[in-house]
């Protein structure tokens, strides 16, 4: 570098970065004031809340900053084609949503949230630091193995940290404390503030100065978050400690399990087809178990007491559905060779299996009335919509990022900075949506959860179509005006606010207490599937040669835009039926001591804990 650019030569991107630095400085100054004051509270809340706020802000800063650059790093540095880059991106983000199950389980049972967050932060710091090791680039460079290792450390680290830090917020307050709502609002703002500022600054440095500068800043951000977390331990007042005394040997064994997971993920992330088959097979087993419990155990008291014939048909259906992923894993022809109707024989076998399962569910529904079972059916319906919505929404960091870089009139603003639009919209609109639902509910006009899902799909589809229509109106040869990128993210964000927090609420509200953790895990599992679907859709935008064209991307976006709107119409039409399955009139508070599920998963921005603080995990009782 020859020095700083004169202010008179600053472009829009430079000004945006400077504004982000100023905002970050203001928040850090406030944080420093809170840290040095002697009073145990600030603005009516314990200091521990602000420590968690800044720790999570820095973690989101690093994660979303790195995410904004990833697709460009894959295409421009490691020289993967557009299709392969989108597939790797989808595999990476899908695994980020699965590992919180491991992190949450180990924290709940053994480590406690504080040590799990600390361990996760160390893994994340290592991962972001490794991302700054560039090598010479290209897929033949041996340094690419360091890149795969970096992704693995970040994936597993996110699993330990994301699953637990939001739970610790609830542990700072009594369940009846009226400050809980405000506490989660503050924490939620930290999540989105970090996501917005991180994408701006990391993206700006990575695309204007060098990859190492951007990824290095992400690593520094994570280290800053760790420092805040460690130095602020006393402010936690015992929140997040292990449920029972843990020996040093057992504790280090658990850390070894985490490092072993890094090694497994390092191998998996390089082979996206394996991830696809594992997601499909494990998803069938997970949702199959939920269907079995809902259809037989809830109405009859146990699986064994259910009608044997129908139970056998269900088992056969599940076995047939597993044929496709197993055959694909073994490389059998029935998984890939077209049989008839343009689909392989394995796919037809899976469809038959699904039909058998659906038939048994219908027979049971018609022959026996059971409200808990019906609520589980409503849950399964809502969960099944996740892959389509998130498959389209998560184009943001993949194909939409590339489209913005290559085909949009950005006036010199680095494309990665546009990834900050969504968290900024979230900050501005989340309170409005929360108020809107309350206002409509008071007048008896609030849409049901299934109807909100339909609205979410409609808005996501419309986001695609508006981008397509805008780009085509100005001509394929011309650069698309940037206003259509803002409109795209506006509709995607309003769709997210109609689906994500609503879905989390429905999962906890409708699931039986003994299945609450499993159902929340299934919700995020299907979100992970949606992220992988996003990679497959992004792969399709590359066409046959793997290189994205503007016409090819718009064609894919238009097709899935109409698919999403068609699905939205169907969901809105059946939403009254699904609402009846929810049996809200007979739903009663069973005075559960805690809602499991939030301990296993921590969400992500719109999905993070905080939009429904009254349903959060209660603090564990501490000895005084």
What is residue 621's predicted lDDT score, i.e. its pLDDT? 38
The percentage of the chain sitting over the pLDDT mark of 70, rounded to a whole number, equals: 90
Token output for 319: 């076995």
Q: Give the model's pLDDT for residue 163.
A: 65
Q: Which of 447, 442, 478 is nearest to 550 (CA)?
A: 478
Considering only CA atoms, give the Rg of the chain. Answer: 24
pTM > 0.75: yes
Handedness of CA 538, 13, 70, 186 (dihedral sign): negative
**Domain annotation for the chain: domains and CATH numbers:** 271-368 (no CATH), 369-612 (1.20.1250.20)
Q: What is the DSSP letter of 619?
A: P
Mean pLDDT by 10 residues, the chain (624 residues): 64 80 78 71 77 80 88 93 93 87 78 84 90 88 93 91 73 69 71 88 90 87 80 72 80 90 91 87 89 91 89 94 90 83 87 94 90 92 94 94 94 92 90 85 89 96 97 94 96 93 82 77 87 92 86 95 97 95 78 38 41 38 36
> What are the tens digits of pLDDT across the range 13-67?
778 888 888 887 787 777 777 766 677 777 777 877 877 788 778 888 888 888 8
Structure tokens at 526: 């299907």
Q: Report the C-alpha gap between 139 and 85 in whole angstroms.
A: 12
Report d(CA 507, CA 104) in Å as an integer: 17
Helices and strands (DSSP H and E) totals, the chain: 22, 6
Q: What is the rounded distance in angstroms from the CA atom of residue 474 to the CA atom of residue 550?
A: 13
Strand pairing partners for 338? Answer: 344
Please count the CA atoms within 13 angstroms of the CA of 172 that sit on its side-chain side: 31
| φ, ψ at 389 (rounded to 5°) | -65, -50
CA 103 – CA 599 distance, rounded (Å): 9
Confirm if 504 and 611 have CB atoms less than 8 A apart: yes
Alpha-carbon distance of 93 to 271, in angstroms, equals 14
Residue 142 to residue 127: CA distance in whole angstroms? 17
Maximum Cα–Cα distance for the chain, whole Å?
Answer: 79
Tens digit of each residue's pLDDT (9 = 90 or more) over 181-220 = 667 667 777 788 888 998 999 999 999 888 988 888 888 8
The dihedral sign for the CA sequence 504, 505, 507, 512: positive
- Nearest CA among 152, 61, 160, 150 for reference residue 105: 160
10 three-state secondary structure: coil
Nearest to 85 by CA among 548, 619, 616, 605: 548
**Long-range contact list for 507-512, CB < 8 A, 24+ apart?**
507/379, 507/382, 507/597, 508/595, 508/597, 508/598, 508/612, 508/615, 509/587, 509/615, 510/375, 510/376, 510/378, 510/379, 510/582, 510/587, 511/375, 511/376, 511/379, 511/597, 512/298, 512/372, 512/376
**Position of tokens 């909100």?**
452
Q: Tokens 């399955």, residue?
A: 581
Beta strands 45-46 and 338-340, pairing class:
unpaired
Beta pairing partners, 343: 340
Beta strands per DSSP E along 26-153:
41-42, 45-46
Residue count of the chain, please give it.
624
Pull the structure tokens for residue 179.
């400050």
The predicted-structure confidence for 259-277, as pLDDT tens digits, reads as follows 999 999 999 899 888 888 8
Unique residue bearing structure tokens 């809830």:
298
Q: For residues 160 and 492, give the distance between their C-alpha atoms in angstroms, rounded to a whole number.
A: 28
pLDDT of 613 reads 36
Answer for the pair 420, 199: CB distance below 8 angstroms, yes or no.
yes
Whether 318 and 325 have beta carbons less than 8 Å apart is answered as no
Do 203 and 65 contact (CB within 8 A), yes or no?
yes
HEC string of 418-470 equals HHHHHHHHHHHHHHHHHHHHHHHHHCCCCCCHHHHHHHHHHHHHHHHHHHHHH
CA quadruple 392, 492, 94, 108: dihedral sign: negative
């Amino acid at each position: 570098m020859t020095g700083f650019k004169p202010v008179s030569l600053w472009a829009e991107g430079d000004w945006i970065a400077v504004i982000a630095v100023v905002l970050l400085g203001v928040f850090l100054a406030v944080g420093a004031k809170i840290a040095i004051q002697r009073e145990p509270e600030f603005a009516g809340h314990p200091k521990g809340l602000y420590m968690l706020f800044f720790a999570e802000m820095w973690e989101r800063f690093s994660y979303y900053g790195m995410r904004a650059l990833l697709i460009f790093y894959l295409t421009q540095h490691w020289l993967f084609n557009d299709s392969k880059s989108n597939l790797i991106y989808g595999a990476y983000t899908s695994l980020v949503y699965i590992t919180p199950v491991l992190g949450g389980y180990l924290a709940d049972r053994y480590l406690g949230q504080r040590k799990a967050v600390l361990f996760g932060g160390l893994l994340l710091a290592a991962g972001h630091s490794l991302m700054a090791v560039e090598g010479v680039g290209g897929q033949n460079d041996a340094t690419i193995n360091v890149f795969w290792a970096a992704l693995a450390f970040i994936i597993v680290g996110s699993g330990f940290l994301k699953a637990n830090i939001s739970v610790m917020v609830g542990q700072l307050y009594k369940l009846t404390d009226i400050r809980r709502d405000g506490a989660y609002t503050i924490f939620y703002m930290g999540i989105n503030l970090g996501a917005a500022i991180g994408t701006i600054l990391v993206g700006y440095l990575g695309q204007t100065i060098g990859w190492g500068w951007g990824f290095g800043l992400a690593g520094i951000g994570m280290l800053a978050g760790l420092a805040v977390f460690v130095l602020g331990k006393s402010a936690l007042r015992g929140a997040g400690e292990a449920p029972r005394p843990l020996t040093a040997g057992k504790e280090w064994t658990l850390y070894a399990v985490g490092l072993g997971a890094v090694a497994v993920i390092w191998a998996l992330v390089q082979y996206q087809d394996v991830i696809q088959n594992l997601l499909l097979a494990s998803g069938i087993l997970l949702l199959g178990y939920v269907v079995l419990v809902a259809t037989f155990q809830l109405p009859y008291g146990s699986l064994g007491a259910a009608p044997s014939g129908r139970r056998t048909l269900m088992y056969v259906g599940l076995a047939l559905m597993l044929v496709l992923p197993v055959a694909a894993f073994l490389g059998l022809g029935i998984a890939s060779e077209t049989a008839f109707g343009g689909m392989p024989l394995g796919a037809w076998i899976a469809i038959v299996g699904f039909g058998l399962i659906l038939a048994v569910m219908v027979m049971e529904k018609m022959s026996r009335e059971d409200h808990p079972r019906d609520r589980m059916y409503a849950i399964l319906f809502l969960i099944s919509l996740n892959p389509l919505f998130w498959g389209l929404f998560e184009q943001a960091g993949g194909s939409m990022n590339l489209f913005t870089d290559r085909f949009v009139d950005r006036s010199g603003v680095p494309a990665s900075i546009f990834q900050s639009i969504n968290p900024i919209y979230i900050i501005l609109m989340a309170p409005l949506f929360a108020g809107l639902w309350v206002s409509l509910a008071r007048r008896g006009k609030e849409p049901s959860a299934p109807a909100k899902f339909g609205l979410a799909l409609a808005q996501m589809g419309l986001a695609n179509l508006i981008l397509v229509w805008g780009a085509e109106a100005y001509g394929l040869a011309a650069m698309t005006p940037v206003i259509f990128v803002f409109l795209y993210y506006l509709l995607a964000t309003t769709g997210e606010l109609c689906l994500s927090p609503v879905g989390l609420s429905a999962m906890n509200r409708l699931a039986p207490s003994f299945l609450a953790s499993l159902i929340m895990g299934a919700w995020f599992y299907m979100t992970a599937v949606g992220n992988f679907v996003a990679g497959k859709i992004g792969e399709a935008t590359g066409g046959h040669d793997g290189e994205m064209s503007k016409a090819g991307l718009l064609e894919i976006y238009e097709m899935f835009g109409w698919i999403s709107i068609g699905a939205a119409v169907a969901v809105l039409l059946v939403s009254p039926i699904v609402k009846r399955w929810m049996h809200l009139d007979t739903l009663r508070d069973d005075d559960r001591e805690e809602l499991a599920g939030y301990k296993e998963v921590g969400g992500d921005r719109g999905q993070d804990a905080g939009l429904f603080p009254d349903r959060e995990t209660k603090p564990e009782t501490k000895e005084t």
